[in-house]
Structure 1
C-alpha cells in the first residue's frame, strides 16, 4: 500500500467559524437541524446533517471571503468524509461512531483534513486504507503529533462504493417543507446550446439569368447563395430531419432569488 506524499497548508481556518456558517456552535443540541433558503428543513443524524451543510455551495459560499480557496476546500473535504463514512466498505462500528459525533466535532474533522491532508491523496483512500483513516479520526485528537494523519493510499484505485450513488442519498437525512410540498423553486441561471445540422439533396431554383454567374464566380459559393436566399431551403430544415451528435449542452449555476 503506497504512502501519500506529505503536504502543508497555508490556509487559516477556525472550526468554530466554519460551524457558525451553517448554524453549528459548541452549544448546538444533539438534535441539530438546518433550514435552507428554499424553505426546506433537514433533520436526521446530526453528523450527517453537519457534513451535508458543509458540502453545500449555497451554505458555505460566503465563508472566509479573504481566502477564496477555503470554501471549495471545506466542501470537497466534507464530500470526502461522506464517501468515507457512508461507504459499504466502512467498518460498521466506525460508521456508527461517526453517526454519534456532535456537529462541532464534524467541523473540527473537516478543518483538520483541509489543513493537514493532501486532497489528491485523500481521494485515493479507498477500501484497503480506509479503516486507518476512519479509526484515526474517531479515536485520536486532531491535530495530534503523537498520532499524525495516516499517509496510506490504495493503488490501484478501487471505488469506495459498489454502485454509483449520489452523495445525498447515502446520508441519514430527511427533508421537509412547512406545507409538505414535493418540490421547491430553486433560482438558477441556465445556459443551453445545441449544434444541429441537416444534410439533404434537393433541386434549388436559380434564376436563369443568374445561373452562369453563380457557377462561374469562385468567390461566391453555392453556400453563400443559399445563405442569401434561405427561403429556398427553409422547407427542408425540419427538426425531425436534423442531426445532433452531441445532444443539448446545458450548464447551470445557482442564482439569487432577486434575479428571478
Structure 2
C-alpha cells in the first residue's frame, strides 16, 4: 500500500514515540517525510531507520513553540520537496503536578508547546495544504475527554487542541483541507516512561487511564494517523479518534 506516493508529510515529534512511528509508517507507504524534533540524536535515529527501509526523509531541529523556528522549518520543507500534503503534529510534553502546587511557569510551558505550538504549525502549513487539498492530524489525548489526575496543565492543553482542531475542520472543509485529532491512551513512549510524579500522587487513580487490553507501543497509533492523513480519510474531518484499548469505553 503506497497511499503517500508523491506526497510530502511534515511530522513533528519525529525523534521518538508516536511521531517516529508515524514517520516510519508514512515513509513505508511512499511518502517523503520532513521530520521535526528538539532532539538531534532522536532525529538522526529516525532518519537512519527510514533509510534502512528505503524511504525518503529529511530532518530539522525545531522547537514548535518558537514561531521563527517553525516558519523556517516549514519553508525549508517546501523548498526541499516543492509542496506539502499533510501535517502530523505529534510533538508535545507531559507532566504531572499537584494542582495546588502547579507553578505558573510550568503551566505556561505545557500550553506553549502542546497548544500554542500546535496552532503555530497549523497556521504556517495551511497555505500549502490549501494548495494541495491536504490534511492535518493533531495529537490530542484521552486527557482531553476524561479527567487526568494531577494533569490539569496537560489536560487543558489537549482539550484546547481538540477544540481548535474542530474549529479548523469547519473553517476549511469547503476549501478541501481536513483536520482531525488522535486521542492516544495508555501508549508506552519515552514521554510516559520518564514521568516525574508529584509528591501527593494517588496511584489508585492511575487505573482511570489504564487500557483494558494493556499498554501498547506507539506503532499502534501509526496506522490510524496514516489513515487520517491519507485520502482513505477523505470524508473524515473534525473527528477525535480514540486509540486507548477501551479505556474510556
The structure whose residues are more often strand, as a share, is 2
TM-score higher than 0.5 here? no
What's the TM-score, normalizing by structure 1?
0.25
Comparing both chains, which one has the higher relative contact order based on Cα–Cα distances under 8 Å and sequence gaps of 6 or more? Answer: 1
What's the TM-score, normalizing by structure 2?
0.26
